[in-house]
Amino acid sequence: MGTGGATKLARRLPVGAEVLPGGGVHFRVWAPRRRRVEVVFEGEGAPEPLALEEEEGGYFKGLAEGLREGALYRFRLDGDEYLYPDPASRFQPEGPHKASRVVDPTRFLWTDEGWRGAPLKGQVVYELHVGAFTREGTLAAATRHLKELASLGVTCVELMPLAEFPGRFGWGYDGVCLYAPTRLYGEPDDLRRFVNEAHLNHVAVILDVVYNHLGPDGNYLAQFSEHYFTERYKTEWGDGLNYDGRDSAPVREFFLSNARYWVEEFHFDGLRLDATQSIKDDSEEHFLAALTREVRDAARGRATVIVGENEPQETHMIRAFGLDGLWNDDFHHAAMVALTGRSEAYYSDYKGTPQEFVSAAKYGFLYQGQRYKWQRHRRGTPTFGLAPQAFVNFIQNHDQVANSARGLRAHKLTSPGRLRAMTALLLLAPATPMLFMGQEFAASAPFHYFADHADEELAGKVRKGRAEFLAQFRSIATRETRTKLPDPAAPETFERCKLDHAERDSHREVYDLHRGLLRLRREDAVFSAQEPRSLDGAVLGPEAFVLRYFGVGGDDRLLVVNFGPDLNLNPAPEPLLAPPAGRVWKMVWSSEDYAYGGTGTPPLETKNNWCLPGETAVALAPADPARVGDPARGLDGPSEEEEVRDEALREWEEAG
C-alpha cells in the first residue's frame, strides 16, 4: 500500500505516534490545510512542544527523543489556542475531546501463535456489545465468558464498534477516533487480551467497523483537511467520505491502514463492514476491494472473514470486491413475520410462508431484482453461484431488536414452540448463522438504542430522529406509543440492556436447545457440509415445509418444519419425503424434546402417513428398517407410540 509521501523511517502506520525500538516517539500527521503543526505534551514533567517538519503532500513529521509510552499529547494547528487529539490516536483515556496517549503495541505478549485464523465457512457468529454484555461492561469481564461461549458452540465473536466515541455509553456507530479502542471498555491491552484468549479457546473475533461516516461529536478530521469528506455523495448521516475525489489518496490510506491496524496490532480475524451501500467510490479500484486486499495481506497467511451489511443486497460486494459474505435481512424479515404474524413497515413485502424459507435456504436472498413495494423500486441482485455460507442469517441483531417500541427479543413476541422451530431452521440451514448476545438463553433484558451526548441539542436531535425512524411502524406511530419510547440518552435505557448471565441456568431449556442444535450442526457431517446445490425443499402445507440435505451415498438428512397446527399429510406425494432406497427415516433431533421445554415428539411417519406436530421442527436421518421398523408399511405392526395414541383416540371418540 502506498504511504502518501511517508518518511523513510520504518513505521507500523503511515500516521500517528509510534514508539521506536531504539527509543523516542515518532509523530506523523496529514494536515494539508495547515502551515504549522506542533505536538503539545501534557502532564507532570511534560517536555516542551515539538514543532513538526512539513513533508511533501501535506504531511508533518517529527521525533521526540526520550519520550516513552504513556505520554499524553495533542496537536496545535497554526498556533491556534485549541488543541486537537491525534486523528490516528491509539488511545483516548479521557474521551475524544482530550489528549491522546502514546501506546506501544509491541509490549503485549501474545500466546496465540498456533492460531491459523478462520474462514467464513463453518462459523457460528455471535454479535456482542461489550458495554451491555456484562454488568461491568468491560472487555475484561467479557473475556471471562469466552470459554462458555466456545462450549456452547460459538466459533466467531463479532464485536460491535469499538472506536472511541463521546459520552458514557453508546452503540459505537458514531465513532470519531477510529484507531483508539474506546476507554469505556478498558485499555488497548484488554482488547488484545480478549482476542488472545478467544483464540486459545478456538474462537475467532471480528470487529464491526464504520467506514461510511463518522460521528457528529468529537470529529476533528476536517481541522486537518477538508478533503476527508465530500459533498459529491450524501449518506443518511451527512457528507460521505472522500475515497475518489481531490486529495483522496491520503484519505484512502487513512482508512485502509485502519483496517490493517486491527488485524496486525490486535490479531482480529476480520471485519464486519457497516452500511457498505453508503461507501461510494468511483476509483479504478473500489475502496472495498482495496480493503479486502489489505486485510488478507495483514493477516500474513491466517484465514480471515470480511462480512458486509448491505441493505440493497448487492452481490457484487462478494463477486467483485472479494467480501466473504453479506447479512441476509430477507431471512430475518420473513422469520419475524412468521413468528409474530405482523408485517408493518419494512416487513411489508414478506409473508413468512414456507416457500420463502425454502427459497432462502436454497438461494440466500429472496429479493434478487424483483419490485420491492416498500421502497417503490427493485431490490437485490442475483445470488446464483454463491456459496451457502456467504449469507449470514439471523433472527435477532442489534438493529432489529432495537427497531421496536420496547426493544423486545423474539421470545417475547411469539410462542415457545414457534421460536424453537425457527431456531432450528436458523442453526441447521446451510447459511452462516448469527446469534445476538443473550439470544441463546432468552435474555430478559431488552436491547434499546442508546447514545449519550453531553450536548443537549444533539441529544434532542437523536431523540427526535429515533422517534421519526420508528414511526414507519404503524403501531409505534400512534400517539400513545410515541410518548412512551425510551430516551436514548437516559442512563437507565442503557442499564436495562445489560445481560444477566445467571439466566443461562434459570432459562436452561432455551440454553440447552441452542447447545443441542449447535452440537448437531458441528458433529453431523451432512448438516455441517454447507456444500453448494446440496439442498432442496418443498412446501408441505400452509405453514409447513421440508428441507432435504443431500449427503454422500444417500446419507441424506431431512429437516421438517411446521410453524402451524398439527398437519396430517395423507396422502404424501412429495418425493423429498421419500427415504433413500432400502432405508427409513429415524428421528435424530426434535424441537419438542422435553429437555428444551417441549412435550415430546411421536414418530412423524406412521401407518396414517406423515403426521407433523404443530409448531415443531424435526431432523431425520436414514436408518436400517430392520433395526427401527417401518411403521409406514406396517411390517412390524403399530409402534408403542401409535398404540397409545390410537387408544387415546378411541377413548375420546367413545366419550363423544
Task: Show the DSSP H helices in 559-639 as ranges.
Answer: 625-628
pLDDT confidence of residue 650: 77
Q: Mind listing the pLDDT tens digit for each residue in 544-555?
A: 999 999 999 999
Q: What percent of the chain has pLDDT over 90?
A: 87
- The answer to whether residue 201 is domain-embedded is yes
Q: What is the pLDDT of residue 133?
A: 98
Query: Residue 4 has what pLDDT?
Result: 38
Q: Does the pLDDT of residue 225 top 90, yes or no? A: yes
Based on the domain organization, do 496 and 595 belong to the same domain? no
165 found inside a domain: yes
Which single residue is written with the C-alpha cell 467520505?
Answer: 241
| Measured CA distances, 120 to 281, 318, 330, 433, 510 (Å) | 26, 13, 20, 11, 26
325-369 pLDDT per residue, tens: 999 999 999 999 999 999 999 999 999 999 999 999 999 999 999
Contact 68, 25 (CB under 8 A): yes
Catalytic residue among 309, 440, 543, 593: 309
In this structure, the number of other CB atoms found within 10 A of the CB of residue 284 comes to 7
Q: Both 593 and 650 in a single domain?
A: yes
DSSP structure string for 27-42: EEEE-TT-S-EEEEEE
Non-local CB neighbours of 4 within 8 Å, separated by 6+ positions: 14, 30, 57, 59, 249, 250, 253
Examine the fold and report which residue of 253, 288, 305 is the final residue of a domain before the chain moves on: 305
Q: Is the pTM of this model over 0.85?
A: yes
Same domain, 421 and 519: yes
- What number is the average pLDDT over the span 124-129? 98
Q: What is the pLDDT of residue 420?
A: 98
User: If you average pLDDT over residues 174-189, what whole number do you get?
Assistant: 98
Residue 229 has pLDDT above 80, yes or no: yes
Q: How far apart are the first and last CA of the chain?
A: 81
Average pLDDT of 525-550? 97
Residue 491 sits in a domain whose CATH number is: 3.20.20.80
**Which residue stretches of 533-596 are H helix?**
none
Q: Are residues 195 and 243 in the same domain?
A: no
Which pLDDT tens digit goes with each residue over 133-160? 999 999 999 999 999 999 999 999 999 9
Whether residue 645 lies inside any domain: the answer is: yes
426 and 499 part of one domain: yes
Position 607 confidence tier, pLDDT thresholds 50, 70, 90: confident
Helix/strand/coil (H, E, C) string of 277-328? HHCCCCCCCCHHHHHHHHHHHHCCCCECEEEECCCCCCCHHHHCCCCCEEEC
- Domains identified in the chain, total number: 4
Q: Among the three residues 262, 286, 305, which one is the final residue of a domain in this structure?
A: 305
Catalytic hit among 38, 274, 615, 642: 274
Q: What is the mean pLDDT of the chain?
A: 94
**What local confidence, expressed as pLDDT, does residue 643 receive?**
65
Residue 130 lies in a domain: yes
pLDDT beyond 90 at 642: no
In this structure, are 550 and 438 located in the same domain?
A: no
The answer for residues whose C-beta is within 8 angstroms of residue 153's C-beta and 6 or more apart is 124, 514, 515, 518, 519, 521, 522
Backbone φ and ψ for 645, nearest 5 degrees, come out as -65, -45
pLDDT of residue 159: 98
Let me know: does 576 contact 610? Beta carbons within 8 Å. Answer: no
Do 397 and 511 fall into the same domain?
yes
Q: Do residues 217 and 269 both lie within one domain? A: yes
Q: What is the CATH number of the domain that holds 590?
A: 2.60.40.1180
Query: 476 and 514: one domain?
Result: yes
The position carrying cell 437485490 is: 380
Evaluate whether residue 646 is within a structural domain: yes
Assess whether 309 carries a catalytic annotation. Answer: yes
**Mean local confidence (pLDDT), 576-601:** 96
Residue-wise pLDDT for 1-49, tens only, equals: 333 334 457 899 999 999 999 899 999 999 999 999 999 999 999 999 9
> According to the model, what pLDDT value does residue 480 have?
85
Instruction: State the pLDDT at residue 415.
Output: 98
Residues spanned by the domain of 638: 531-654
Nearest alpha-carbon partner for 398 in 361, 446, 454 = 446
487 a catalytic residue: no
Alpha helices in 181-226 (DSSP H): 188-200, 221-224
Q: What is d(CA 164, CA 85) in angstroms, rounded to the nearest whole number?
A: 12
CB 448 within 8 A of CB 497: yes
Phi (first) and psi of residue 627, to 5 degrees: -95, -30
Residues 6+ apart with CB under 8 A from 472: 344, 345, 346
Given this model, what pLDDT does residue 656 score? 60
Q: Are residues 195 and 228 in the same domain?
A: no
Q: Quickly state the pLDDT bin for 477 (edges 50, 70, 90).
A: confident
In a domain, 444, yes or no: yes
Q: Based on the domain organization, do 220 and 232 belong to the same domain?
A: yes
Q: What is the CATH number of the domain that holds 30?
A: 2.60.40.10
Q: How far is CA 559 from the centre of its chain?
A: 26
Give the pLDDT of residue 54: 97
Is the pLDDT at 635 greater than 50? The verdict is: no
The per-residue pLDDT for range 36-95, each reduced to its tens digit, is 999 999 999 999 999 999 999 999 999 999 999 999 999 999 999 999 999 999 999 999
Show which of 272, 305, 338 is a domain's final residue.
305
Checking DSSP bridges between strand 229-235 and strand 204-209, what pairing results, if any? unpaired
Higher pLDDT residue, 454 or 519? 519
**SS3 state of residue 10:** coil
485: Cβ–Cβ under 8 A, 6 or more apart, which residues? Answer: 405, 466, 467, 470, 476
* 178 has pLDDT over 80: yes
pLDDT class for 630, splitting at 50, 70, 90?
confident
* Cell numbers that stand for 399 in this block: 438493529
pLDDT band at 565 (very low <50, low <70, confident <90, very high): very high
pLDDT at 6: 41
Domain check: are 228 and 278 in the same one?
Answer: yes
